Each structure stands twice: as structure tokens, then as C-alpha cells.
Amino acid sequence: MTKRAPLHPEEEQRQALLDSYEILDTQRDEKFDRLTRLASRLIGTPMASITFIDRDRQWLKSAVGIDTEETARADGFCAYTVLNDELMVVEDAAADKRFYDNPFVTGEPHIRFYAGAPLTSRDGLAVGSLCVIDSKPRVLAPEQRRLLKDLAAMAVDEMELHKSIKQLHKRQVELQRTQDGLRAANKRLEELASTDALTGIANRRTLDACMVRELRRAARKRSAVSLLLIDADHFKMFNDLYGHQAGDACLRMMGEVLRAALHRPGDLAARYGGEEFAVFLPDTGALGAMQVAEAIRAEIEARRIEHSGNEDGVVSVSIGVATLVPDIGGEPRELVQEADSALYRAKEQGRNRVCAAEQTAQAARGSVFATVTRH
């Protein structure tokens, strides 16, 4: 009965090393096929293969004259080849006590001659073999031995390249995953830095930066910009009457209304502070700004959120509107002051209303600002 090759003294390490190449059960590769063709031609044998010794099988990465892709390790000649670093030559398998009754000797392909050079990794362990096979006994000449070893060394180079490419790809995937994670984290940080946590709309810092940027652009274009300052009426009393959770829910509702009221990419809704909100409208004249403000006021009132501290018994807002065509080098301060003055008048006149700054009100009644419409 065929004697099975003993396991390598460092079989676990050898197997782990083989697994690290990630080469088992991969597709045919012309770089390896070229080496087996060369081995077959240079040595003059009808069969050649590059074989890797797995736990219970020998798997053929490349083969000439051999149809199968794998065989049992117990029947493999190459299982002996990986036991040391030396070329293994069997001149006549029928006369070798290890192989005389091997099924591949007694049956197809009727192996008589075998020569295998171990595929020894840089770690010093052999994971497979580059071998040549014949159905006739033969002797391997010294030059042929050197050629077979050289071809095996080239196969190892290809293995190492294959491994390096795999590792590089993994590192690239990991790097991409890390970069994606960093981008997502940075985006989240930017959102946290630019967004009000409670309402989900922009915060005051974002509003201030937007106004500076847009006022410079508007000054160059000589176009109008508008600002709405919005204050929840008697909101401190609302919190006292209904609690802070209800107050937070009310502020979130207002944020939703503001977000829904804006339809252009350049428009910006922001929480200005406490129960105050702001809406900045570039390329918008007085009439358009007043229309947006009234739509916001009406929608919040229409939500019919109970507020017994308000005259109408529901949550409402007061809104101040300011519009101007900024000068070169102009700052948002003037626009904010105008809108704040208008907001003060809205409260003074009884709340739940929209008031425009004096200049804005005149424009809305027909001056140049009224000709700047929203799109």
C-alpha cells in the first residue's frame, strides 16, 4: 500500500504561510502557465505542474498534460517534495518503495519519472512544487536540475508578487475605508459646527458667514438681499406653562416650517439664538421677502399649537424684514439692525405680525426693491 508522506515538522506554520498567499482555488494565470510550459519543453517531459500542498489535497495552479485540478494529498508525489529544500527526483516510481503501488503509478497517467523543485518561500518553508513528470523512467541531467530549480525560483517570485498585490489591494481597501470614515466624520463635524442641534437648521455662525459672503457678491452685482428676524411670541411663558420638552418640540416645529418655506439653494434658515430665528434671502427684494415672511407667520399660526399666554391662544411669531442693496465693503450689521428694528415694531404693535424696516416698507410699496422678484 502506498506510504503517505509524513507531515512537515512545521506543518501548521507551513499551512498558515500557504494560506497567506491567497492563491488556492484562484483562476489560471498565464505567468504560471508560462513556467510549466517552459519546464515541460526544457526537461522534455509530457507533463509539468505547479502544485500547492494543502491540508488534505494537492492543488494544481498550472499544469501541462494533466487534466485534473487537484488530487488527494495522500497520493501526491509533491507532498514529499515540500519536506525539505532539495530537488526531489524519482527516476523510476515503479521501483521506489514509496510509490510503486501509488494509484497514479499503477493507473493513469502511469507515472514512472518525477522531478520536483520545492517552492520555498522567503520564510524558508516550502508550500508547493514545480515538477515535471513522464510515463517513462529517466535520469535528470545536472543542467536540467539547475533549470528546474531556476524555474521554481521564478515561480516563487510570481507567488510573492501575487501576495504583494493582494496585500496592496487590501491596504488600498482599508485606506479607502479609513478615508471614507474620515470624510464622513469630517462631514459630521462640519454639520455639528454649522447646524443647530435642536432644530437641524443652520446655526448663527453659519448665518453670519453666509451673510458676509452673499453681501459681497450682491455688492458686485448690485442686487438686493433680504433678512427676516423671527421671534416666537411670549416663548418664555410657553416654557413656563408647558415645560421645556414642549418648548423644544415647538422650536423644532418652527425649524421645519422655515426649512419648508425655502425653495432655492441659496436661501438659508438659521436659529439665531434661543427662540429667535433668521431667514436670509439673496437676490430677493422687499416684496418677495415680505411674501416669504407672511407665509412663515401664517403657517406657524395654522399649526394651532396651544399657547394660553398668547392673545389668540396658539403659538405665533413676530417677524421683522429688512432689504438692501449692499455697498462694496458693506457689513451685515446694517441689515441686521434694520431687521431687528422691524421685529421690535412687530412686537410693539401686538405680535403675530410681519413688519418691514422703513426703507424696506417703502420699497415693497413700489420702489426699486419691489422689482427684484424671487425665482
List the catalytic residues.
275
Beta bridge partners of 52: 59, 128
DSSP 8: P
Longest dimension (CA), the chain: 115
**DSSP structure class, residue 195:** B
CA distances from 175 to 178, 180, 187 (A): 5, 8, 18
In angstroms, the CA 62 to CA 32 distance is: 6
Helices then strands, each counted (H, E), the chain:
11, 11
Is-contact 34 105, C-beta < 8 A?
no
Instruction: Copy the grid coordinates of residue 155.
Output: 515561480
Nearest to 120 by CA among 7, 39, 40, 21: 21
- Collapsing DSSP to helix, strand or coil, 4 comes out as coil
* 182: number of Cβ within 10 Å: 10
Three-class DSSP category at 228: strand
Encoded amino acid at 214, one letter: E
Report long-range pairs for 36-40 (Cβ below 8 Å, ≥24 apart): 36/62, 36/63, 36/64, 36/130, 37/64, 38/151, 39/64, 39/130, 39/132, 39/147, 39/148, 39/151, 40/64, 40/65, 40/132
C-alpha cell at 110: 502511469
